[in-house]
Amino acid sequence: MTGETPTHPDTAPSAPEAPPAPPAPPAAPEIPPMPATPPRKPFRPLTAGLVGVAVGAGIMGCIWAVTAGIGPGSPATFTLEGAFELTDDATMNDNGGCGGRYDGGYDDIAEGTSVTVYGASDVVIATGVLGDSAYVSGTCTFEVAVEDVPEGEKFYKVEVSHRGTVQLTAEEAENGEFSASLG
């Protein structure tokens, strides 16, 4: 054996070579960016005006609907009551009531004939009809009851059919003191 130490190479033994890296996966296709939304165009003046009118009308309609039931309410009313007599050419009818004879000129007077109530300004304020009738000694008497006559007039005028008006004070009308006759 010789006194010589064996020499080591200056480099350490090399490690086995690493296997080659696998190929890189293909790159994902690039997604194009979303196109930017175009800026909104302002309304044309005519369009803006029409939209404003429509919205305003809608708001006012809602306000009106909400407030329509609020307030002083409808005026107080009464039923104008009384009697109307046909004293000439009255005859009994088949229903047990009476009316004007067809050949006597009063054929428009019968149960159901219109009764019109006018206020002091000659404006129609209520309507009704002649009610039940009774025949006694050649006279036909009708009940009169016109509902929903507004209070507060200075006087009232009542007309049966087209035969002219009869004027009553407010007190007479409200107390059911209507009385008129024809014939």
- Note the pLDDT tens digit of each residue in 112-127: 999 999 999 999 999 9
Q: With 60 as the cut, is the pLDDT of residue 69 above it?
A: no
77-182: CATH topology is Immunoglobulin-like (2.60.40)
For 150-160, how does the pLDDT look when each residue is reduced to its tens digit (9 = 90+)? 999 999 999 99
- What average pLDDT does the structure give for the chain? 81
Average the pLDDT over 58-84 and give the result.
76
Write down the pLDDT at residue 4.
62
Closest CA to 80 of 158, 164, 163, 160: 158
C-alpha span between 15 and 13 (Å, rounded): 7
Residues 15-56 have pLDDT tens digits of 567 667 777 777 666 776 666 666 666 667 777 667 666 677
Residue 2: pLDDT band (50, 70, 90) is low
- Return the domain boundaries, the chain: 77-182
What letter would DSSP give residue 4? P
Whether the per-residue pLDDT at 71 is higher than 60: the answer is no
Cα-Cα-Cα-Cα dihedral sign, residues 173, 118, 145, 111: positive
